[in-house]
Amino acid sequence: MSEAVFVDLGARPVWRVAGPAGMKFLDNVLTADLDDVTAGRGAIAALLTVKGRIRTIVRVLATAGGAALVECEPAAAGGVEEGLVRIAPLGGTEMERSDRHLLRFIGEVPPDLSPGGAEHSHAERDGAILIRTVWGGAGVDILAEPERAAEWIEVLSRHARAATAGDLEPIRIRDAFPRFGVDIDDSTHVLETTLPGHGAVADAKGCYPGQESVAKIRNLGHVRRRMVALEATGAAPSPGDPVCSEAGDEVGRVTSVAGSMALAIVKVDAGALTVGGAPASIVS
């Protein structure tokens, strides 16, 4: 996508995690290494079952005094409530939900929209939290207070063309950026996804729920499936379409589609792949 665009993604679940124990609590239960994530920085992380399957995916934004913000897609909110909010008092903190309005800007970020820093760096400005993004589309996410969303839409319209969520799907799929409830759910093992390659699953971290399963697979074996982005050469695929080997055996299913691009989780030893009887090449 050569021109800058912005998309209004609507309401976004956000929780404030009280400090000074907030980040410590999250570090104890999530897959990312949050120990050195200081105020103004952040990370993608997952909450797992004891078998390493994904209960929810969140973005953690560290704030002052050891506190944090946690946000996620609406479909992942139940996992946050059940897996984090419910046990937060046991970790010496509390989580209070305060939803925001998410606007996503994709393109070269102008100075007045830039929070500075690397991916997940963030800053508060004019009733919003600006978050640097890379994976799933380079740009900036704006978590605006609901009553100020219209102001931010006006600001963004000076820099970019309004687009739809569907317009961003080719970027998301190319980057193999999974959506909870669409591409992955609580039946998906975290090592089957692209999350480890983006810092969401720490290599040396221990003692979080599901860590034993992650370590066992990494040390003694491998997962049987993996998430891939595919380019289909035949008819445009649809979610749920089977992905097959050259021999015609089903080895996976399409989960997301944007034109000829698709996300799928397939067997790691599947070899050459086909979708709809036509060859499909792995692009990510």
The pLDDT tens digits along the chain (284 residues) read 569 999 999 999 999 999 999 999 999 999 999 999 999 999 999 999 999 999 999 999 999 999 999 999 999 999 999 999 999 999 999 999 999 999 999 999 999 999 989 999 999 999 999 999 999 899 999 999 999 999 999 999 999 999 999 999 999 999 999 999 999 999 999 999 999 999 999 988 888 999 999 999 999 888 999 999 999 999 999 999 999 999 999 999 999 999 999 999 999 999 999 999 999 999 96
Q: Is the peptide bond before 209 cis (omega within 30 degrees of 0)?
A: no
Residue 173 lies in a domain: no
Q: Give yes or no: residues 54 and 158 share one domain.
A: yes
Structural domain including 118 reads 5-163
What single string gives the DSSP state of each residue in 84-112?
IITTGGGGT--EEE--EEEEEEESSPPGG
Residues 6+ apart with CB under 8 A from 144: 100, 101, 102, 103, 127, 128, 151, 152
Are 110 and 195 part of one and the same domain?
no
Give the span between the Cα atoms of 191 and 197, in whole angstroms: 10
Q: What is the reported pLDDT for 222?
A: 86
Q: What is the pTM of this model?
A: 0.94
Q: In what order do the strands lie in the sheet with 95-97?
A: 42-48, 54-62, 68-71, 14-17, 95-97
Pairing label, strands 68-71, 261-267: unpaired
Instruction: With respect to residue 72, please indicate whether it lies within any of the assigned structural domains.
Output: yes
Is residue 269 a part of any domain in this protein?
Answer: yes
Task: Give a yes or no: residue 171 inside a domain.
Answer: no
Q: Is residue 36 part of a domain?
A: yes
**Inside any domain, residue 102:** yes
User: Domain end: 163, 178, 209, which one?
Assistant: 163
Check whether residue 152 and residue 19 sit in a common domain.
yes
**Are both 49 and 159 inside the same structural domain?**
yes
**Statement to judge: residues 131 and 202 lie in one domain:** no
Burial of 64 (0-12, 13-18, 19+ CB in 10 A): exposed
Residue 25 in domain: yes
Residue 172 placed within a domain: no
As a whole number of Å, the end-to-end CA separation of the chain is 17
Domain with 215 in it: what CATH number? 2.40.30.160
If one counts the domains in the chain, the total is: 2
End residue of a domain, out of 146, 163, 180: 163
Residues 44 and 198: beta-carbon distance below 8 Å: yes
Same domain, yes or no: 22 and 134: yes
